[in-house]
């Protein structure tokens, strides 16, 4: 999504207000694809101060994420402030995003804001029970008998469920 700032850069405008609503394609955040169930709405304003253009506004949309515990897809409302500054002066590019044209590509800025503001552990709900580590059933919908049938309880029977590949690591903490 390109935003034309030519009038602002030339001094023909002091401020440019925007209200943009558009459909956005899913993107990869480094660990999973983030999809959109509603259009992205950006409201805010650009203002110029010397060689720096600042944007202050809001991003609002609804995302479709994967739960970190049960892997179910769920909708997550996203409504966050966005403040970012741009410059065409190479000397100031360490502190601001460098632009070399009169148009700003806003897609990567939106994606960065979403990635930065999302919780590290994404849960479909606070009390999500996740998947059974033995049979893989989603414990939010069905209960299983794995704890009873296979004596599978990591807290009570740690020795029975110990992975031998971690034996060397276990020895590191014997004296503590």
Mean pLDDT by 10 residues, the chain (176 residues): 83 89 88 92 92 92 94 95 85 75 85 90 92 88 77 50 69 69
Q: What mean pLDDT, rounded, does the chain reach?
A: 84
How far lies 172's CA from each of 130, 154, 160, in Å?
A: 30, 20, 19
pLDDT at residue number 157? 45
Distance CA 134, CA 142 (A): 14
pLDDT at residue number 154? 44
Please give the model's pTM, rounded to 2 decimal places: 0.72
Q: Per residue in 85-108, is it b (16+ CB within 10 Å) or e — as a string?
A: bbbbeeeeeeebeebeeeebebee
């Amino acid at each position: 999504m390109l935003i034309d700032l030519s009038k602002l850069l030339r001094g023909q405008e002091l401020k440019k207000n925007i209200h943009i609503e558009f459909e956005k394609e899913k993107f990869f955040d480094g660990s999973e694809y983030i999809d959109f169930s509603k259009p992205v709405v950006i409201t805010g304003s650009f203002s110029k101060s010397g060689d720096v253009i600042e944007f202050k506004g809001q991003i609002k949309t609804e995302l479709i994420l994967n739960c970190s515990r049960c892997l179910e897809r769920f909708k997550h409302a996203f409504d966050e402030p966005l403040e970012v500054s741009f410059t065409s002066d190479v000397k100031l590019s360490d502190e601001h995003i460098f632009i070399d044209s009169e148009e700003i590509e806003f897609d990567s800025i939106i994606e960065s804001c979403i990635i930065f503001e999302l919780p590290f552990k994404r849960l479909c709900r606070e009390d999500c029970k996740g998947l059974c580590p033995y049979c893989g059933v989603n414990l939010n919908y069905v209960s299983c008998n794995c704890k009873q049938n296979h004596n599978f309880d990591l807290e009570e029977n740690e020795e029975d469920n110990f992975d031998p590949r971690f034996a060397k690591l276990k020895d590191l903490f014997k004296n503590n």
